[in-house]
Amino acid sequence: MKATRHARIKEIIEHSVIETQEELANALREQHIVVTQATVSRDIKELMLIKVPTGDGRYRYAYPTDKELMYSKNRLLNLFRDSVVGLNFSENIIVVKTLPGAANAVASTLDYAKWPEIIGTVAGDDNIFIVVKPISAVEDIMKRLQDMLN
């Protein structure tokens, strides 16, 4: 089922402008594939979909063509500067606020940056939870994230 869903996602984003996870979920449902937002979010991450400009100030999902370029330090910096609107933390969880629809791309790029202190990320539409271990590393990670915004 997952392989079929992934194939359909690839077809959908190649032939339609899909800007949000909700739009993608609806497009899958129109093809009689039952999905939840959480499933779509995981699929986007697994397929390593990215957001690309549409030329009119909006962004759409696209399938990556060059994975090395996708996860470069430059891409991470550009994504942060273009998409992140706020940072905060509690204990060992950092919350990153993004523009609507940008959280998954930012989280995926952070995951592939492979910072050893980051156990993982969970992305919604405009929020990311970053789990940091050890808790003493949170201050350093926050500083690194803040520096990318400046």
Go through the domains of the chain in sequence order and give each one's CATH number.
2-62 (1.10.10.10), 67-149 (3.30.1360.40)
Cα–Cα distance measured from residue 47 to residue 69, given in angstroms and rounded to the nearest whole number: 15
Q: What is the per-residue pLDDT across 76-111, written as a single tens digit (0 to 9) for each?
A: 788 788 889 999 999 999 999 998 888 888 888 888
pLDDT tier at 67, thresholds 50, 70, 90: low
pLDDT tier at 138, thresholds 50, 70, 90: very high
State both tokens at 109.
């790029």
The pLDDT value recorded for residue 83 is 87
Judge whether residue 38 has pLDDT over 70: yes
Give mean pLDDT, residues 52-68.
77
The pLDDT value recorded for residue 18 is 94
Residues β-bridged to residue 130: 94, 121
Measured between alpha carbons, how far is residue 105 from residues 1, 43, 56 in Å? Answer: 24, 12, 19
